[in-house]
Amino acid sequence: MDWPLPIRILLWPLSLVYGLAVRSRTALYRTGIFRQKRLKGAVVSVGNITLGGTGKTPMVMWLAEKFVRDGKSVAILSRGYRGERGSSDEVELMRGRLGNRVRFGIGSNRFDQGSTIECNSPVDVFLLDDGFQHLALARDVDIVMLDGSRNLTAEWLLPAGSLREPPSACSRADFMVVTRRFAQPPLAKQFFQAQTRLRGFRKWKAGSKENAAGSCADEIGAGPFFSFCGIGNPAGFADDLKRWQVAVVGSRVFRDHHKYSQNDLAALESAALAAGAAALVTTEKDEQNLPAGPGRLPVYVVVIDLVMNSERELLEGLDRLLNQRRGVAL
Q: Going from the N-terminus, what domains does the chain have, and what CATH number goes with each?
A: 5-194+308-326 (3.40.50.300), 196-307 (no CATH)
> Of 193, 141, 11, nearest to 2 (Cα)?
11
Peptide bond into 224 cis (omega under 30): yes
Q: What is the pLDDT of residue 34?
A: 97
**DSSP tag of 221:** -
Can you tell me the distance from the alpha carbon of 291 to that of 271, in angstroms, rounded to the nearest whole number? 18
- Average the pLDDT over each of 44-58, 148-162, 181-195, 216-230 and give the range with the smallest value: 181-195
Percent of the chain with pLDDT over 90: 74
Q: Is the pTM of this model over 0.85?
A: yes
- Average the pLDDT over each of 163-167, 207-211, 222-226, 304-308 and give the range with the smallest value: 207-211
Residue 274 Cα distances to 82, 226, 250, angstroms: 32, 10, 9
Percent of the chain with pLDDT over 70: 90
pLDDT tens digit sequence for 58-115: 999 999 999 999 999 999 999 987 656 667 899 999 999 999 999 999 999 999 999 9
Q: Which residues contact 96 (CB under 8 A, 6 or more apart)?
A: 211, 212, 213, 214
Q: What is the pLDDT of residue 261?
A: 95
